[in-house]
Chain A
Amino acid sequence: MSQFASLRNASGPEPRASSRPVAGRPLLYRSYAQDMALFNTRPKRLWVGVIIVVAFLLPMAVLDPTLEVLATGFAFAIGALGLNIVTGLAGQVSLGHAFFVGVGAYTAAAISGDPDGRSIGLGITEIAVWLPAAGLVAGLTGVLVAPLATRLRGLYLAVVTLGLVFIGEHIFREWSDLSGGAGVGREGPVPTIFGYRIAEDSSLFTAEQNLYWLMLVLLLVFALGARNLARSRVGRSFAAVRDRDMAAEMMAINLPRTKTLAFGISSFYAGCAGGLIYSVVGFFEPSTFGLLLSVQFIAMVLIGGAGTVSGTILGALFITLLPTITRELPAYLPFISSTATETPNIYQLESVLYGALIVVFLLFEPRGLFGIWIRIRNYWKGWPFSY
């Protein structure tokens, strides 16, 4: 981008408002800066604004249980954005995301935990302390694991990261001072901002409303970060590695460094998400961070649309809302039971849906929910013509 800008500067004065789209000509790009802008068309800017405003006003209209689910969904979306950076953007298949989420969750819980409690705790509940700490510790773990990952390609990497999940689960289970031990678990981190306790009802707002707004703001920050990363020099080098690693190497992209960076940033996101998810959920134990969690994150990215920020957030919300939807089903489909001992029950249906959705989306719409949106948009763009 800087090269283009300098070329333009050399040839004459910058045309006025070149980064602005021309009214009525949405596809006309007059500068590289306009093409690479955060919101390159006016409708995008408008609708993102509308969605954000609606999202902020939602707690006034929606009941608390739904808000809690949505807040969890936002926290999961932050983790999914992290996986999207390493898998969707840099093309490195990671089945080990649950491990980094776990590292973040335990770091956050240990920092904010009760010093007199059963498990390790420092008693610093300020979110401005434990959130970056959780991200940094997880990010550092990612950088430590990266030397192994940068030597491997494709499915070798997938299996190794799978091994990471099993080893991580073992460590969490055995380090019972930190984790509370298998089957026991510990409390999630407590969020406070300048002494104001988020997770408790105050005179104005309920705990769920507070948590919802906190997660929404944090998700916006992290999403903006991910979007900006994707259009920066680093993000473009990630995409180059994904598309053809050898060609990227020929363009003087340092492969080990780029992959290490991708793992580090992705793990940072995962760590932050780990801290946040369990501050909403409130409780977790070592077996939480198993293979299933990794698969869930992969499902979020793939169902949403690999490589896209908006798609990933959609996918994360979709997957977190899935249990809520299936729990409603027995009312409409009487042959499905809601008790775990009968077959077929909603828990089985939920698992089958995870699997089936991954298969169906990859077979029929590899670009995910984002791709469906693109199809709808293109249909109406060309209407009444078919293309």
Chain B
Amino acid sequence: MTEFLEALARGLGTGSIYAMLALGFVIIYKSTTVISFAQPALMMTGATVTSYVIPALGFITLASLSFFVSLLLAAVITAFIAMVIERAAIRPMVGRPAFVVAIITIGIDIVVRVITGGFIGTGQRHIDNPWGIERSDLLGIRVEQRHLVAMAVLVVVVAALVWFYRFTRHGLAMRAAAFDQEAALTQGVSVGNVFATSWGMAGALAAIAGTLLATNVGVGRDIWIIALIALPAIILGGLDSLPGAVVGGLAVGVVESLVGNYQHDVAPWLGNNFAVVSPYVLMMLVLLVRPYGLFGTQEVRRV
């Protein structure tokens, strides 16, 4: 039982990171109806920025303070990069089919990844963090502290998003634009600004997720592939549902962790490292039953 609970906690920890990535995808999808395949590159960029900023902030003596300050800085910088990308390559494509824009983001992803890879170099860049591999006792189960931090950050992020969408003018504008772009335009909402804001938010979320992901393993050139696991998460929850993204992310994290823990004993014929592809299998199974995910809006088609 303890083993199961510990695996569950591990899953929720990594799941929180996936949930943040998934939120980035969904925020962009809601306002632009495009899946941005550039998220992996932005995540990698955010983690790399943190790895450069933390040593530069050496004058702050409190270790955890310097970590969070650089996390915020990286989020701001990555958000800025994301907004520049949006302005240069996505805005001119307004009105074109979503698939074409999605392919453009694949192209951007490759370019940004290679440039960031140049800053990373061939090895791993270490990210200084106050926890290392320390664990805490929580009701009898041992949980890695970095997983607790990830969960806490997710709670803060979700609270901030709820506040933003519910209680700010920009949040209202974004909801309006997501609901009906043309109607929002006639009400004086600048849809262009909405696009830029959503890309900025997604970039910031990707940077936070990337940094948390890299705290133990370091930033390498192949870290981007982990961000793709957020794709099954958003499909699972429904492409246009923010709660769905959180639930999907956590579910994917838990499934991955449980499969990693038990598959070797239960179904060894599935091969080593089946946990890595289990989110995709889960996604296919859910889609067979619910083609629009668990919380997604079913598209209304009229003849």
Contacts from A to B (Cβ < 8 Å): 93, 148, 151-156, 158-160, 162-164, 166-167, 170-171, 173-174, 246, 250, 291, 295, 298, 302, 341, 343-344, 348, 351-352, 354-359, 362-363, 366
Contact = CB atoms under 8 A, between A and B. Distances in A.
A160 B283 contact: yes
Contacts of B107: 354-359, 362
Nearest to B111: A355
B84 interface: no
Contacts of A366: 96, 100
Given A153-B299, A159-B35, A355-B114, 8 more contacts: A148-B287, A151-B291, A164-B280, A167-B281, A291-B228, A343-B118, A344-B118, A363-B104
A356 B85 CA distance: 13
B56 interface: no
Determine the main DSSP class of B at the interface with A. Answer: helix
Contacts of B291: 151-152, 156
A236 B233 CA distance: 36
B284 A160 contact: yes
A174 B272 contact: yes
B273 interface: yes
B229 to A, nearest CB: 9
Given A154-B98, A162-B228, A363 B274 contact: no
B301 interface: yes
A344 B113 CA distance: 13
Nearest to B92: A363
B271 A174 contact: yes
B301 A246 contact: yes
Contacts of B34: 155
Contact of B108 (A291, A302, A341, A359): A359
Contact of B114 (A154, A159, A351): A351
Contacts of A148: 284, 287-288
A159 B117 CA distance: 25
A165 to B, nearest CB: 9
Nearest to B225: A291
Contacts of B109: 355
B271 A170 contact: yes
Given A156-B291, A158-B102, A170-B274, A163 B284 contact: yes
B277 A170 contact: yes
B267 interface: no
Given A250-B303, A298-B103, A359 B277 contact: no
Interface of B: 29, 34-35, 89, 92-93, 96, 98-100, 102-104, 106-111, 113-115, 117-118, 121-122, 228, 231-232, 234-235, 239, 270-274, 276-277, 280-281, 283-284, 287-288, 291-292, 299, 301, 303
A166 B277 contact: yes
A352 B110 contact: yes
A153 B108 CA distance: 23
Nearest to B279: A163
A245 to B, nearest CB: 9
23 contacts: A93-B99, A148-B284, A151-B288, A152-B291, A155-B29, A155-B35, A155-B98, A156-B235, A156-B239, A159-B35, A163-B232, A167-B284, A174-B270, A174-B271, A246-B303, A295-B106, A343-B121, A351-B110, A355-B107, A355-B108, A358-B110, A362-B93, A362-B107
A351 B104 CA distance: 15
Contacts of A362: 93, 100, 103-104, 107
Contacts of B114: 348, 351-352, 355
Contacts of B234: 159
**Which 10 pairs show the lowest CB-CB distances between chains A and B?**
A174-B271, A355-B110, A358-B107, A163-B280, A355-B111, A359-B107, A355-B107, A343-B118, A170-B277, A351-B114
A318 B93 CA distance: 25
A164 B231 CA distance: 13
A266 B111 CA distance: 29
Given A167-B280, A362-B100, A160 B235 contact: yes
A164 B232 CA distance: 11
B103 A358 contact: yes
A348 B116 CA distance: 11
A153 to B, nearest CB: 7
Nearest to A92: B99
A341 B34 CA distance: 36
A162 B111 contact: no
A155 B110 contact: no
B21 to A, nearest CB: 14
Contacts of B108: 355, 359
Given A167-B281, A174-B272, A351-B110, A159 B231 contact: yes
B275 to A, nearest CB: 10
A163 B34 CA distance: 18
Contacts of B232: 159, 163
Contacts of B122: 341
A151 B271 contact: no
Contacts of A358: 103-104, 106-107, 110
A155 B111 contact: no
Contacts of B277: 166-167, 170
Contacts of A246: 301, 303
Nearest to B119: A343
